[in-house]
């Protein structure tokens, strides 16, 4: 089965590809000739996933799925949330985003957080949402060189390693994106 994943993000593509069964062919936006940066103008994670999936369906008439992810920190009232990728500004700078997050948490004892991923699947004129949540906490310093985004400061519940210290295989066992993708694959296999 051929599936379009509505992303230009090479890191997300690598993470999702590593979990796909061999009978699925995964194509990115680049693979279908979509060079646009699809606007993420919704004020919810669900809304942004839907916007991206609908864009591909409307402009290319292809079945596809899209995801959006946010890091929600309890003591910051859910920030950065839907603004996670641009928390420190419009340039999508992981290093600056982490620095801002750690600075905003420096005096906070409650460091509980969760990653939330929503996958919107447009298939055969139907849309279905799949949600994955990974609870954990924000560390006081960066740990690990793997992953992307906030991975080096997110310690998932049940692990002594941050996502930044995990291999792709280890991370997919815990991660929000892994949980949502497993739900999607279960649906497609049924």
| Residue in the structure block whose two tokens are 């979990």 | 19
| Residue in the structure block whose two tokens are 């992307």 | 148
Is 157 marked active-site? Answer: no
Estimate to the nearest angstrom the gap between the alpha carbon of 179 and the chain centroid: 11
How many angstroms separate the CA atoms of 44 and 141, rounded? Answer: 28
> What are the distances in angstroms from CA 68 to CA 6, 18, 105, 116, 187?
10, 18, 24, 8, 19
Q: What are phi and psi of 155, to 5 degrees?
A: -105, 105
Question: Active-site residue among 63, 67, 68, 151?
Answer: 68
Residues involved in catalysis: 68
């Amino acid at each position: 089965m051929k599936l379009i994943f509505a992303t230009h993000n090479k890191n997300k593509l690598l993470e999702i590809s590593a979990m796909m069964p061999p009978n699925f062919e995964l194509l990115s936006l680049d693979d279908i000739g979509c060079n646009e940066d699809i606007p993420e103008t919704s004020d919810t994670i669900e809304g942004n996933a839907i916007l991206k999936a609908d864009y591909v369906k409307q402009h290319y008439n292809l079945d596809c799925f899209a995801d959006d992810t946010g890091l929600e920190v309890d003591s910051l009232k859910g920030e950065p949330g839907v603004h996670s990728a641009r928390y420190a500004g419009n340039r999508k700078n992981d290093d600056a985003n982490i620095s801002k997050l750690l600075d905003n948490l420096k005096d906070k004892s409650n460091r509980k957080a969760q990653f939330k991923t929503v996958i919107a699947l447009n298939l055969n004129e139907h849309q279905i949402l799949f949600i994955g949540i990974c609870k954990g906490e924000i560390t006081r310093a960066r740990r690990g060189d793997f992953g992307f985004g906030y991975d080096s400061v997110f310690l998932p519940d049940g692990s002594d390693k941050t996502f930044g210290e995990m291999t792709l295989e280890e991370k997919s066992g815990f991660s929000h994106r892994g949980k949502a993708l497993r739900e999607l694959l279960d649906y497609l296999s049924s």
